[in-house]
Structure 1
Amino acid sequence: VSPLYSDSDVAREYRLLAADDFRTVKVVKNTPHEVVVSLSGTSGNNRLEQTISLATGQDHFHIEVDALLGQTPPRLEYLLSLFAFVGGNPPDFTHVPCLKRAADDVIGDRIFDAPATIIQKEGRLTALVPDLDILNEEVIYAQGARPLEGTRGFRIPQDPAKISMPTIMDLDLKSGLTAAPVFAFGLADFFTEQHMFWRHENLKGAMVRDLSTNRLRYGFDLFLRADAAPFRGYQSISQFLWQQYGREFLRQPRPQAMPLVEYAKVCYPAAFSYKGDIARDTKRYSEGLAYDPADSGPLVTWLEFDLDGSPVGGIRATPSQWYNDIQFSPWWNCARDAVGMYWWGKQTDPSLVEKARRIVNLALTAPQKQGVFPSIFRYSDKRWYGCYWKFPADFKTKWTFPSSWTPKAIPTTFWNTNSNLYQTAAASKTGVYLLHYRRLCEDDTRILPYLRPYGDFLVDHLGDKACIPAMLTVDFDPVPELAFNAEGGIHIWFLCELYQATQEKKYLDAAERMATFLAKEILPQQRWYDFETFYSCSIKPEDFFDSYTGQWPQCTLSMLWATDGYTSLYEATKNPDYIHNAEAVADYAGFFQAVWQPHFMISAYAFGGFRSQNSDAEWLDMRQSLFGEAFVRLGKLAGRQDLLERGVAAVRSSFAIINHPRHIANDIFHYPRYPLGIEPENIDHEGLPQNPLRSGFDWGEGGGLAAAATLLCHLGGAYLDFAKNLGVGVDGVYVKWFDCHGKRIQVELVNQLALLPSAYDSTYPIQFRIEGLAAGKYQLVVNGRALGDVEIPAGEGVRLEIGPSSITKVISS
């Protein structure tokens, strides 16, 4: 029997399984609109009650558990609601927020971004979604809760008396209690291990905790279906989480604290002048000391110079091991930064346009071999390197993963800053953004001739399986590592962009073959394998499979790329299968986006941000800016209001942990280490209140500004599409409602920046985009006030002035 449910050598009196002790059933409410049933009983001197409600039109049961502990002081190891799934074992599909590596692991609330336990067999599905409102309302403090295994740096101070008793979920396909899968939710403590596992110590009452109150309460929603689409039942659960929680948090004013243009004015100069992080900077930050430019590194972050007579430039990486590197990698990519900088340069600072051009100049100097090119330019050497990975000859992709905290058992010999391997995802990502630069910024005639040979390279190396190797030797031999991977989305995206530029069908045909591979081999079991899944900070063997939860390792990078790849294929072909697949991937990625602000998240305001993978613990990871762009792009095409909202929330969250007085004043980010205007790459990376280091401009404020440029370019500061019934605010505003009768457009906009505790009390302009109406002249009424006539279509939109208390006027149409 799984140790979590065993009666052997445990403190049984403190381990409460709610359903074991219910003896009384009572109908509390029975109306045409709702039925509520109560189950109650006792366990020792503890009283337990569970209410189950079902309302008309509701597609799930709502369940709440209340307990009154009779002991003083109140003590508890766990209180859990436990269920068995009798729809068939093994399931076809399962999902919980993280992996387990041992029988005593659980799913800790530290990774409850958008928590759900989902089990599906054919059309039969059950899903448990914790009630996040109750989790924030009914906080119970516990002495000694949330202990750590191993040491942690960069910690944020925490009052020991204000550490809450955690909640957990569990999924066990081999519990020993029954042949059926069992799943649970409730109150229990855990150790945080390796920043990706959560272990409950079961023996001898080791995790019995003294609680702050004897009244306990939690709730959850329980979904039961018999008609779920095969392997796709999770989509409605992901959408429910946003509709139930995310939408309400989006209405609230944080985390944006000022107009987006103000971030550009502060962040670009601050980031470009920063000289850290050499070892002295890292040591200083670990000791809680401030940045000292007089005792920092020799290089500012923006580097410009001549190379073979051409003016070039780039943004160097921050960490000491990459301090001299200008990166065009699958993570940090200067080509993406160039697109954002060009747009902002046209709005604010013309020098950004020149910097963007220098980046493009540098990117086009990367030496090609049959089209493929390296991803790292080393400023100190003035030469190009392949990537950051090179596997020793004796490296094994299959090895035994330790079932306990054993850091020395984890191999790290694959890191190599002088690698000559070609990384195909890096080349394709650079290609995507160079083509974006050509299409959206200026038609640099060098870009297409440079990238066409790389497109031909991908077509020629597609192979029978249509899975491009993650890395290649200089002789184009596939590296054995990641021979099977899910990185195809970035190649699909690039080939579709190349097809749109050239109209050469071979690129589209290759993209469609890769899309078929993803649909057959990756999407059904969500096997999102990319370089970060195994070869970054969450190292695992490539054959790792969690037999307890039935899950494979997953990374959101390849999900992101698949979303963009399938969206691009739909744009190129109008084949509805592709947009349905894009939505399926986006909905799964939604489980890694924070749909709320948990009470235990003290480091920063984390709503809208992303986690990297199902074996990592960070919040507000800066890939969220990329997801923001992808979700908005797909949401517009698919007519998905929730994806538009998710995209806006993700981009806003990209600015949350910037050091700025307005963020401190508005309780968005209280613990800056870095100077004004710049930010770390995430928070709470190791599963505890923590302010980690910075990896670079692109995985920080630069990525946020690039994504903000994309949203402002395509949506404006607020956006309506009457044909698709879409409406979303982007730049500090919220679209409360909108309507059009005849030639009269009415909309209610809320100035969220004016609602902050430390309100932004200046006026600022936004472009208000209106689509989906017949051409002509319309009267525009905003917040009950007629602002005049506007012509539809309005090109760049209607320019409104947003004031602290109202929308004051139309500046131009």
Structure 2
Amino acid sequence: MINRLLLVWIVSLFTQTVRANNVNNVPKELQSFIKNIDVSTVHGAKPKISFKTVSKNLVYVSVIWQLKGVVAQDSVAIKIRPAFVPGFHWAPHLTPKENSIIAQHVFRAPAMLVSNANKVLVVVPDLDLLKKTNAVPWYMDMNAPKNYLELGMSKSRVEEHVLYVRDKGAVFPAGEAKLGFYLMVSDKSEDIQNPWRRPLQLMWSKWGAPLYQTGEPLHRADLEPYVKQTYNWAFNSWKPAVWQEFELNGKQVGAPVFIVNVTQSPNYKAPVDEREFRSVWNQAWFNSLRSAQGLYRYAKRTHNDTLQNLALKTKELALSFPQHRGLFKSVIATEMEEVIISGKKYRRSKGWDTKYFGNSNRNPFTWDAKQSPYHIADMSYTAYWMMVWYEELEKDERLIKYARDYADALVALQDNKGFFPAWLSLDTYQPMGYLDQSPETSLSVTFLLKMFKHTGKKEYLASAGKALDAVVKQIVPVGQWEDFETYWSCSRVGSQDWVGKKIPRNNMFKQNNFCIYWTAEALLEMYKTTGNRSYLQKGRRTLDELLMYQATWQPPYMAIRTLGGFGVMNADGEWNDSRQCLFAGLIIDYGKLLKSAEYVQRGLSALRASFTMMYTPLNLQTMKQWQAKWPFFGPQDYGFMMENYGHGGETNDSGLGIGEFTIYDWGNGAAAEAYNRLLDKYGPGIFIDK
């Protein structure tokens, strides 16, 4: 009997769950949405759970454990179990295995949501509380088959690129251990159709807007000094490494190189080691033609003929890519070689006399740019920017002819459902079986609408409409945001067995936000073209899904300024990724059209975040991180800018999370282009805080 009582006492002491599932514990307004809330104990200490109604359908939950001493316990968890069976799930990061978690590293706009045809439930961690309590990191998790949403505290470690799993070793100090979160519920059709709008409003009004009003993330409205520093870096202090010029078809052409790294700094004393093959890209990411337009705008504004001539040489390079049946390649590159210096191997270019045309090697088939297939997204994007150049910068008829020849080839490639395939064989010009029906199609929609507006050719409008309707019907409702970057860039987790499939534990696809952006943009352009407000409604829903990747606060564990910056996907670790400079203009466009101050502020924050990673005295906090990682950097390196921060899923205040390279067309040059384009479009008043 004594042993049995002792066993019961021990079990009760270390039981890890306290259930709050009765009328007294779960407010009445939540009971049709939440079945119960399970809460861990901490070394036997039961939590105090309280609920506070903030507004209709919004409740704040506080969970507090009183600890008499220091406690070593690997984790503590709160499991929220919906009272309905969701058909749709969303979380900011994938947790495909039972030990997977969403580490606080990716808490940009942290929320989890589930919905069905009648209800939606959203969980938003209390970021004010997270800023104050850092003894044990926070995490989230979402388990679709077992139907729970989890918020807790645990250490984590990175597996693959980039997923997180639980780690051991958490220690809770004596005193209060506290978690807090908001529960947002609704049965309104507009909230079910767009489940992101209300949490976005909450997070921006509570955390984003107050920071924005203080001047975050740059504490300066004038971005001109960053642009000036960008062009000085690329075309003066780093020009020997960055600017590539050569003869092609009897003409002098040129462009900034695809990528440079720290070994190419004027201050680096050891031999240069080129990170990737020397090349120039006109691709959906890295597009020299787009960046050249920013340089052209700046040169015209500042009356700088030298810079204008460089921009024109980049336009000539784009027009020099040969077309075959209207199709064209996206990369021009040199042969590379390996050299031995003092017993060490270094990668070097053989020079532009060895040049060849190829395609992006970010694809499912090969790393060899020579063998890489045609990529429709790359061609549509480059042709789109040819049209922008013609319409906004100079009436070069060659741009129109080039783009129209491609547009006619593109329309002929559309399948019966309306999709454009992602890749085409170099030999047969036929689709290659990967992403044949994907949201990459949306990028081509925007290009075709641009062609329709210029030519009036109804075939382009009909093709664009059919394509966009296919994306809206097949992709948008289930969140199948798969594009070339989702699986075939640095985050290749799932590339063997996840393509086209949901991850069962999360009921989600691996998602990349580039194609969310393309779709939101295509929907806005279709609305402008047709006046059909259903496109605007769907566009706003898509934009809001995109904004769930935007940072709405300043985490204390981030050593750089984060407000407005974007992550990339639900299986990677970046903050402040360069894509935000492209997103900025679209967000502002929606804001102006919908008269939304929130969107305009978000767009301006995204643009300003595009310069936060620059090595410059303008960014003293970031500059310290660069100097911690690369102490040889000096004034000649002002303007050097990594494309993002925390790429590997970890950061600290001693340089961890700082990279080693700059991609001009996906970094400082891209950010400068976005600023110059918005300045021309809206005037300097757009940058004045109101």
* Residue 768 of structure 1: aligned partner: none
Q: 2 CA distance for matches of 1:715 and 1:21?
A: 54
Letter in 2 for 1:53: K
* Residue 82 of structure 1: aligned partner: 79
2:652 aligned with 1:714, yes or no? no
* Residue 60 of structure 2: aligned partner: 62
Shift of 1:96: 0.6
- Counterpart among 699, 704, 716 of residue 671 in structure 2: 704
- Counterpart among 597, 615, 618 of residue 571 in structure 2: 615
For 1:300, what is the secondary structure of its paired residue?
helix
For 2:177, what is the secondary structure of its paired residue?
strand
2:331 aligned with 1:376, yes or no? yes
* Residue 142 of structure 2: aligned partner: 171
Relative to structure 1, the CA distance from residue 40 to residue 339 in structure 2 (aligned partners, 3 Å threshold; closer, same or farther) is closer
* Residue 265 of structure 1: aligned partner: 228
Relative to structure 1, the CA distance from residue 535 to residue 695 in structure 2 (aligned partners, 3 Å threshold; closer, same or farther) is farther
Native 8 Å contact 2:445 2:522 kept in 1: yes
Relative to structure 1, the CA distance from residue 228 to residue 587 in structure 2 (aligned partners, 3 Å threshold; closer, same or farther) is same
* Residue 597 of structure 2: aligned partner: 641
Shift of 1:239: 3.2
Native 8 Å contact 1:422 1:473 kept in 2: yes
Structure with the greater relative contact order (CA < 8 A, sep ≥ 6): 1 or 2?
2
* Residue 610 of structure 2: aligned partner: 654
Q: 2 CA distance for matches of 1:646 and 1:636?
A: 12
Q: 1 CA distance for matches of 2:92 and 2:189?
A: 21
Native 8 Å contact 1:25 1:40 kept in 2: no
Shift of 1:44: 6.4
Any idea what the Cα deviations from partners look like across 1:455-497, whole Å, max 9, x if unmatched? 1111111110211111101221111122232101110111111
Native 8 Å contact 2:615 2:623 kept in 1: no
Letter in 2 for 1:587: D
Q: 2 CA distance for matches of 1:614 and 1:261?
A: 33
Letter in 1 for 2:648: E
1:29-178 → structure 2 map (5 Å cutoff): 46-55=45-54, 57-70=55-68, 72-88=69-85, 91-140=86-135, 165-175=136-146
Q: 2 CA distance for matches of 1:528 and 1:484?
A: 11
Q: 1 CA distance for matches of 2:466 and 2:245?
A: 41
* Residue 30 of structure 2: aligned partner: none
Any idea what the Cα deviations from partners look like across 1:268-300, whole Å, max 9, x if unmatched? 121235669xxxxxxxxxxxxxxxxxxxxxx52
* Residue 521 of structure 1: aligned partner: 474
2:586 aligned with 1:630, yes or no? yes
1:219-298 → structure 2 map (5 Å cutoff): 219-229=180-190, 230-256=192-218, 259-273=222-236
Segment drifting more, 423-432 vs 232-241:
232-241
* Residue 388 of structure 1: aligned partner: 361
Shift of 1:351: 2.4
For 2:625, what is the secondary structure of its paired residue?
coil
2:175 aligned with 1:214, yes or no? yes
2:316 aligned with 1:364, yes or no? no
Q: 2 CA distance for matches of 1:578 and 1:477?
A: 31
Q: 2 CA distance for matches of 1:24 and 1:123?
A: 25
Letter in 1 for 2:504: S
Shift of 1:670: 3.1
Shift of 1:715: 2.9
Native 8 Å contact 2:16 2:44 kept in 1: no
Relative to structure 1, the CA distance from residue 48 to residue 505 in structure 2 (aligned partners, 3 Å threshold; closer, same or farther) is same
Shift of 1:22: 10
* Residue 463 of structure 1: aligned partner: 415
Shift of 1:209: 2.1
Relative to structure 1, the CA distance from residue 43 to residue 76 in structure 2 (aligned partners, 3 Å threshold; closer, same or farther) is closer
For 1:418, what is the secondary structure of its paired residue?
coil
Q: 2 CA distance for matches of 1:11 and 1:105?
A: 27
Relative to structure 1, the CA distance from residue 643 to residue 457 in structure 2 (aligned partners, 3 Å threshold; closer, same or farther) is same
Any idea what the Cα deviations from partners look like across 1:656-707, whole Å, max 9, x if unmatched? 010111311x567633546211111111111111112325101111111111
Native 8 Å contact 1:610 1:620 kept in 2: yes
Letter in 2 for 1:718: G
Shift of 1:58: 3.9
Shift of 1:120: 0.2
Shift of 1:583: 1.0
Q: 2 CA distance for matches of 1:41 and 1:169?
A: 14
From the two aligned structures, give the one with the greater helix fraction.
Answer: 2
Shift of 1:14: 7.0
For 2:181, what is the secondary structure of its paired residue?
strand
Shift of 1:500: 1.3
* Residue 576 of structure 1: aligned partner: 533
1:199-598 → structure 2 map (5 Å cutoff): 199-201=165-167, 207-229=168-190, 230-256=192-218, 259-273=222-236, 299-318=240-259, 320=274, 322-348=276-302, 349-378=304-333, 380=352, 381-389=354-362, 414-474=366-426, 475-539=428-492, 540=494, 541=496, 542-598=499-555
Q: 2 CA distance for matches of 1:112 and 1:95?
A: 14
Shift of 1:167: 0.6
* Residue 185 of structure 1: aligned partner: 151
Q: 1 CA distance for matches of 2:183 and 2:392?
A: 46
Any idea what the Cα deviations from partners look like across 1:364-419, whole Å, max 9, x if unmatched? 11111111110001252333213315655xxxxxxxxxxxxxxxxxxxxx322222
Letter in 2 for 1:59: N
Relative to structure 1, the CA distance from residue 12 to residue 653 in structure 2 (aligned partners, 3 Å threshold; closer, same or farther) is farther
* Residue 644 of structure 2: aligned partner: 682
Shift of 1:340: 0.9
Q: 2 CA distance for matches of 1:306 and 1:567?
A: 40
Q: 1 CA distance for matches of 2:208 and 2:97?
A: 32
* Residue 671 of structure 1: aligned partner: 626
Native 8 Å contact 2:40 2:78 kept in 1: no
Q: 1 CA distance for matches of 2:67 and 2:623?
A: 36
Letter in 1 for 2:404: R
Gaps of 5+ in 1: 1-9, 28-38, 141-164, 176-180, 202-206, 277-298, 393-413, 720-729, 736-813
Native 8 Å contact 1:21 1:41 kept in 2: no
Q: 2 CA distance for matches of 1:651 and 1:494?
A: 23
Letter in 1 for 2:681: H
For 1:107, what is the secondary structure of its paired residue?
strand
Length-normalised TM-score, structure 2 = 0.85
Q: 1 CA distance for matches of 2:275 and 2:171?
A: 45
Native 8 Å contact 1:15 1:77 kept in 2: no
For 2:370, what is the secondary structure of its paired residue?
strand
- Counterpart among 556, 559, 574 of residue 599 in structure 1: 556
Relative to structure 1, the CA distance from residue 480 to residue 13 in structure 2 (aligned partners, 3 Å threshold; closer, same or farther) is farther
Identity %: 24
Q: 2 CA distance for matches of 1:41 and 1:501?
A: 62
Residue-pair matches, total: 621
For 1:512, what is the secondary structure of its paired residue?
helix
Relative to structure 1, the CA distance from residue 43 to residue 646 in structure 2 (aligned partners, 3 Å threshold; closer, same or farther) is closer
Native 8 Å contact 1:628 1:651 kept in 2: yes
Relative to structure 1, the CA distance from residue 199 to residue 544 in structure 2 (aligned partners, 3 Å threshold; closer, same or farther) is farther
